[in-house]
Structure 1
Amino acid sequence: MKRVVITGLGAVTPLGNNVEDFWQNSINGVSGAGLIKQFDTEKFKVHFACEVKDFDPKVHLTHNEIKKSDIFSQYAMYSSAEAIKDSGLDLENMDPFDTGVIWGTGQGGMQTFESEVMEFAHSEGVPRFNPFFVPKFIANMASGMISMKYGLRGINYTTVSACATGNTALMDAFNYIRLGKAKVIISGGSEAAITPASVGGFSIMKAMSTRNDDFATASRPYDADRDGFVMGEGAGALVLEDYDHAKARGAKIYAELVGAAMTADAYHMTAPHPEGVGAIKAMQIALKEAGANVDDIDYINPHATSTPLGDLVELTAITSLFKGNKNLDISATKSMTGHLLGAAGAAEAILCIKAIQNGIIPPTINMQKVDEKIPRDINIVFGEAKEKDITFALSNAFGFGGHNATLIFKKFS
């Protein structure tokens, strides 16, 4: 099997529209939450979210690319442009069939779908859709547009596994490169789901926080008074590369992806298995693949969305598997970014890699009263970032439908 390294990073997030801003705001404990500006929330129970701010697609996209794409694809192309530039790849002088794109999204072009359907339903005279309606909203178009922008003719498709999507896209890219089916794959996830239907739909399920009067602290994983997740949006892009290829061109290497696994709970449409059996198994498989023991893991970026049930089930799984690892630190960065749904895993992979690179663990913010049900023998980084030498970082992502996906990154040596 070939080794797989990370040579480029790109981000569009509620904490910044490039990797450096995203990272600095993360380690400084900045909340990305604010009142929703994208639509009128007067009739909704939830009035806030973690929106992307000051996004200007023209920085990396042409007029025609913007015109023909939903914003979830714009986030994808924008973050990929940063990642490709960061990697130093000379794509014009590479065999285009050696480079692919495996992208992820949970909902695809939701903004396009909603606006077009509503306009169609309320139109006077002969109703019609925009000619770009279907190409803009279908979920695979982000990967397609990235490949078209750079002439990449290798593996190209999109994964959909709800909120586990970012991790499953990266896992697929990892496996294709390991098997020698590609030398470089641009991978990650993007989501632009802060729309009336998404916010209304998740709200009626009672999955989202309704802390409208204190939205800056609403995303509070592990707090006794947490009442649901805060919707986020954005994208994370990573350049995954065959180590030999990266070495031959003298690329800088951020970290190595050494383990990836996915399981299913086979239990409930939206709730995790109460004993975390699927989560435990995914982490076990990833550890075995990484050639690591439970004592080797220095940092875990958990799924931890700030829901009453999900946070505890995952911590129970982690505690069960990693008991005895006194060196383990956990921090829930969704406390700052909100939940980016299909983009969450990709954004959190970037934070794991930056944590390894810089020896700093971002904090879990908004903790006011620790949930008494949280195991006491587990170290959660609250309030402020923590300096720590990190060799192995593990990232979890779980999704409706019972999807569990785990990635393990290692300091490159």
Structure 2
Amino acid sequence: MPASQPENSSTAPQSGTAAAIRPNASGVVITGLGVVSPLGNSPSELIERLRAGESGIRPFTQVPTSAFSVSNGAEAVSFTGHINDYGPLEKALQRTIRKGSKVMCREIEMGVAAAQLALHHAGFSPEVFDRDRTGVVYGCDYIMSCPEEYSAGIAACTTDGEFDFTKWGELGLPKVNPLWLLKYLPNMPASHIAIYNDLRGPNNSITLREASGGAAIAEAVSTIMRGHADALVVGATGSRIHTLRTLHASMQEKLAADCADPATMSRPFNTDRDGGVLGEGAGALICESREHAEARGATIFGEVIGYGTSATGPAAGDRPLQVAIANAILAAMRSAKTAGHGETPVGHIHAHGLGDVDLDRDEAEAINEIFGDVASQPPVTTAKGHIGNLGAGGGMVEIISSVQCLGGDLFPIRNLDQLASECSINAAQGNSVSAGDSFISVNVTPQGQSSAVWIRKA
């Protein structure tokens, strides 16, 4: 487990069979991809629309636009929660998921759907996967209940516009669905995925905001390399578009102001950037030991060669987020070197690229600190100009987009018309920038928790 693994990670007890240790793997590879995003629900559609410069930012439909400081965000509009959004499934599994949807909020539904799509993409079947050695590591935001869960109970305790709390136990609580909490627990994506597919191996839930996806990959690689599993469903899901979550973000974060054209709101590293854009989505990978993947003849889309995590606070100095980003990238590079991959050229960097004035500057400084000036840096891109900040799901969706680019062209940073002078990076502009054969993806939270992963073409 990474030395800086967050304290709020939780590992479910392993069965005796699943915990059996086999010799360490020689490497961890990616054999399946699944995604739910503002630019579509397949990896191919996502990368096609990113390369075409499309934006997933549009007027809100899920929250009341008159109640917040912004009226636009990046909703995953093609995800409806219908069983068809989960990909090809056997009839029995379709019935099980439909029944389970009663205790899955939208974030959990997106996470489960991305996982099912990844399992299908990888060719999952019990004939080639040992269920006792196949598990789940999933990242998630903390999930907030919807106010309407309590509306009937509150109404029952309200007289002439005044809420009487003394009536709650007798009149209000009985009107709340007794299973309401199951819809909002952040460990439920990993739980549902394991239960639906009878995956009995290690099961871990990580709640680390935007850094969740990278931290989940780090934990998955560590788990497989130490011999505790042959394969893991590794993903993350999140949403910033929710009545209370959007309200909190409006009050606590620097959000980009509404524009006449919402597609121009997210402007990472641009001279006139003014904040992040709220979004939602989920992504999942199937990670296997190289031996397991090759033995079953799987298509390999990439190999994880390094990972790192970090957490910083005010004691780190005036720019703790810069330190956190640099620490995570350096840790990923050190782990790759330890594994014998230190000479691998970095083809591109997938930056956090939030569009926040201070954070973009700090991230650019971290990149300069590690890779040198613009002339010596690999190209830098970010998907947030297209899809905004998807919370815990963003890092994984961004990683999937970069995996799709390996060996081909990189998509440019959207809305980057004039690179800010304080953001001295080798920004990808135009459609003819090579993505190279490897990339480092980095994400960071406002609280200074960061994760980075280094993935190369198989």
Q: TM class by shorter-chain length? A: over 0.9
Match of 2:147 in 1: 114
Gaps of 5+ in 2: 1-23, 87-93, 159-170
SS at match of 1:42: helix
5 Å-filtered alignment, 1:86-125, equals: 86-91=121-126, 94-108=129-143, 110=144, 112-123=145-156
Match of 1:262 in 2: 309
Gaps of 5+ in 1: none
Match of 1:45 in 2: 69
Counterpart CA distance in 2 for 1:26 and 1:180 is 37
CA-to-aligned-CA distance 1:54-112 (integer Å, 9 cap, x gap): 3233112542122221111110111111111111122355331100001011123x3x4
Counterpart CA distance in 2 for 1:113 and 1:35 is 20
Alpha-carbon offset, residue 13 of structure 1: 0.1
With structure 1 as the length reference, what TM-score do the two structures score?
0.93
Counterpart CA distance in 2 for 1:64 and 1:193 is 26
Match of 2:367 in 1: 318
Counterpart CA distance in 2 for 1:206 and 1:76 is 25
| One of 54, 75, 78 as aligned partner of 1:30 | 54
> Over aligned residue pairs, what C-alpha RMSD do you find?
2.0
5 Å-filtered alignment, 1:331-370, equals: 331-356=381-406, 358-370=407-419
| Number of matched pairs | 404
Alpha-carbon offset, residue 124 of structure 1: 5.5
CA-to-aligned-CA distance 1:217-239 (integer Å, 9 cap, x gap): 10000111111100110100000
User: 1:164 aligned to 2:214?
Assistant: no
* 1:107/1:342 contact within 8 Å kept: no
User: 1:235 aligned to 2:310?
Assistant: no
* 2:214/2:452 contact within 8 Å kept: yes
- Over alpha carbons, which structure has the higher Rg? 2
4+ aligned runs moved over 4 Å, structure 1: 292-295
Counterpart CA distance in 2 for 1:250 and 1:410 is 19
Q: For 1:345, give the aligned amino acid.
A: G
* 1:219/1:338 contact within 8 Å kept: yes
Match of 1:215 in 2: 262
* 1:295/1:327 contact within 8 Å kept: no
| One of 253, 257, 273 as aligned partner of 1:226 | 273
Change (3 A) 1:295 1:243: closer
Alpha-carbon offset, residue 206 of structure 1: 4.1
Alpha-carbon offset, residue 123 of structure 1: 4.1
Counterpart CA distance in 2 for 1:88 and 1:43 is 45
5 Å-filtered alignment, 1:261-340, equals: 261-267=308-314, 273=320, 276-291=322-337, 292-293=341-342, 296-323=345-372, 326=376, 328-340=378-390
SS at match of 1:24: helix
Q: For 1:209, give the aligned amino acid.
A: A
Match of 2:91 in 1: none
Q: For 1:365, give the aligned amino acid.
A: R
SS at match of 1:306: coil
Match of 2:296 in 1: 249
| One of 439, 443, 449 as aligned partner of 1:393 | 439
CA-to-aligned-CA distance 1:97-140 (integer Å, 9 cap, x gap): 100001011123x3x44331445333468222112211111100
Q: For 2:324, give the aligned amino acid.
A: G
Alpha-carbon offset, residue 295 of structure 1: 8.0
With structure 2 as the length reference, what TM-score do the two structures score?
0.84
Match of 1:18 in 2: 42
* 2:29/2:303 contact within 8 Å kept: yes
5 Å-filtered alignment, 1:125-140, equals: 126-127=171-172, 128-140=175-187
Counterpart CA distance in 1 for 2:107 and 2:67 is 25
Change (3 A) 1:180 1:31: same
Match of 2:33 in 1: 9
* 2:382/2:398 contact within 8 Å kept: no
